[in-house]
Amino acid sequence: MEEDRSAYLDYLVDNRIGMGKYQYLMSFAIGTLFIADTCHINATGFLTLNAKLDFGAKDMELALVSSLFLTGLCIGSVITGPFTSYFGLKIPMITSAIAIAVVDLLASFAYSITSLTVIWTMMGLALGLISPLCNTMLSEVPPRPNRTFIFYATGAFFGIGNLILAGYVHVIFGGIKAGNWRLFLRLLSLVPLSSAAIIYFFLKESFRGVIIQKRVNEGVEILNHIGRMNHGPSFTPITFEEKMLVNEWVNSIYSIHKVDAGPKLLFQSPLLRITASIFVVYFLRDLIFYGFSLYMPIILQHLMMNNQLREEQGLLVICLSEFPALMIPILMIDRETFGRKGTFVLYAMLASVLMLDLYYFESKSLWLLGIMWCFAQVPSKIIPFLATEYYPTNIRAWALGFAASVGRVGALISPFITLYVIRRSVFDLFFVFGVALIFKSLAVVYLPYETRGRPLDQIIELEEVPPSAIYRATPKFKPIDAFPSAQNTPSASKSHGYQPHFLQT
């Protein structure tokens, strides 16, 4: 009786390649891009305020800056799939990083609100590729037991980016509406450039993306490169027999997952239900996140009644709340009791309760605001796991690009919703976003199963595989100990008359 082969590449990465220097370097390079991403997105709020002072821009012109910036983000996310199909992950990551640095320099010379709007739209286009590309790389390269750690260690750079922004605004600017914003952009351009250099000189293409294209020799060379970086001279290169098993893994994926069908798989059974839920989650996440982030200075002004000191304290509290939001999922999402879905729903509902509490009692407590934002950020930290672990390698970048694009649509309308609601009352904004969090929780509840501990390419139990199919669909993933031990190569197993379960007929 033949069993699912979808766990073999995970087994090889977990036991032979392992965790080490390569993954840490990758985490730092991607984390640096995350710093650039969050700094630029959150800087939009105070850049528009300074543009109002420098250029005399009207409120609608400021809304247009944010909206076109988000339109650029949307377009950049959409083209992620085609870019990765032709160029893989490495080249688009380097290109987008360099483009961000160039646009930073251009924006620092903006002479009117019109020129700033055009240039900042280009910034959105360059930034749009960052999240789908980086999350795809983070899901495909680390070993399965270390994936959670790598995701959140890298995600911590978002919090670092927020602190850099808050520190620069508070210490150097001396306030949200003071200081040299042009100098800020010029200094910020150095961040993506450093990331581009690390990626170019030290990192390779995603081995999963290469192997799934049936370029097995090239993918194995990348695996050997990672193994040598992680283990040094003690690493034994992947054997010919192991390479053949990788080839078998590719063949099994092609025979079951219809790899050649491309991105249209996202909208066909069995992935249609997953895609619908993920798209709703991304839409509501960006609606809430950008509604707060882009207009946090304005929200704080209304909330703190133009008390400058309290505004700066509020910005600092919001930035600091990012760090516990990173630690909570690390402690919970790999536990059987909670998993990805349970942790997501729990904290989304808690954040919703706090938002509705802020609305009902019209509370101005900075600490309650910080706790609310922390709880609201926890589900956002789990979304990359949901998005990357539900989709197979051949369409993962497409899925993340489309999902991010749908999210940008939510981000695109968030400035108009935020500005309209704030004119009535800042507390009404908490009501709107509190209800949105409830719907986001329901979308995750609708997802068909928990992905904790599963092989990255195992979706076959959702498909209707006929009994006569060559490969039998299994409802659960194959545990690692079902495969030969790390010390026993396939050639050694063969010499003892043993054949792994996934090759038995």
Residue 202's pLDDT is 92
For residue 300, the one-letter residue type is L
| CA-based torsion, 142, 144, 147, 150: positive or negative | negative
The length of the chain is 505
**Inter-residue contact 287 to 414 (CB < 8 Å):** yes
Residue 104's pLDDT is 93
> What are the residue ranges of helices labelled H in 56-146?
59-78, 80-87, 90-107, 113-127, 130-140
**How far is the CA of 326 from the CAs of 15, 132, 348, in angstroms?**
27, 19, 14
With 0-12 CB in 10 A as exposed, 13-18 as middle and 19+ as buried, what is 86?
exposed
For residue 495, the one-letter residue type is S
Residue 98's pLDDT is 97
Q: How far apart are CA 241 and CA 88, in angstroms?
A: 27
Q: How far apart are CA 24 and CA 38, in angstroms?
A: 21
Query: Cα-flanking dihedrals φ and ψ of residue 174, to 5°?
Result: 75, 15
**Inter-residue contact 206 to 141 (CB < 8 Å):** yes
Taking residue 91's Cβ as centre, other Cβ atoms within 10 Å add up to 15
Q: How far apart are CA 375 and CA 433, in angstroms?
A: 13
Q: How far apart are CA 440 and CA 376, in angstroms?
A: 11
User: Long-range contacts for 224-227 (Cβ within 8 Å, ≥24 apart)?
Assistant: 225/22, 226/17, 226/22, 226/23, 226/141, 227/16, 227/17, 227/18
Task: Report the chain (505 residues): mean pLDDT per 10 consecutive residues.
Answer: 58 90 95 89 76 79 82 88 87 95 93 90 92 90 89 83 68 51 86 94 92 90 95 92 86 62 75 92 91 75 62 68 83 89 95 92 84 92 88 85 89 82 88 95 92 71 37 35 41 34 31
Residue 214's pLDDT is 86
Residue 482's pLDDT is 40
Residue 315's pLDDT is 66
Residue 61's pLDDT is 82
Residue 260's pLDDT is 52
Residue 82's pLDDT is 85
| Structure tokens that stand for 458 in this block | 């195992």
| End-to-end C-alpha distance for the chain, whole angstroms | 5
How many Å separate Cα 40 from the centre of its chain? 16
Which of 282, 281, 298, 280 has its CA nearest to residue 429?
298
The contacts of residue 318 (CB under 8 Å, 6+ apart) are 162, 296, 369, 370, 373
Residue 120's pLDDT is 92
**Inter-residue contact 175 to 169 (CB < 8 Å):** yes
Residue 169's pLDDT is 59
With 0-12 CB in 10 A as exposed, 13-18 as middle and 19+ as buried, what is 236?
exposed
Residue 158's pLDDT is 80
Query: Cα-flanking dihedrals φ and ψ of residue 434, to 5°?
Result: -65, -40
Q: pTM (2 decimals)?
A: 0.77
The contacts of residue 216 (CB under 8 Å, 6+ apart) are 243, 246, 247, 250
Q: How far apart are CA 79 and CA 76, in angstroms?
A: 5
Q: How far apart are CA 129 and CA 75, in angstroms?
A: 9
Taking residue 495's Cβ as centre, other Cβ atoms within 10 Å add up to 10
Please give the domain boundaries of the chain with CATH numbers for all domains: 8-445 (1.20.1250.20)
Bond prior to 467 in cis (omega within 30° of 0)? no
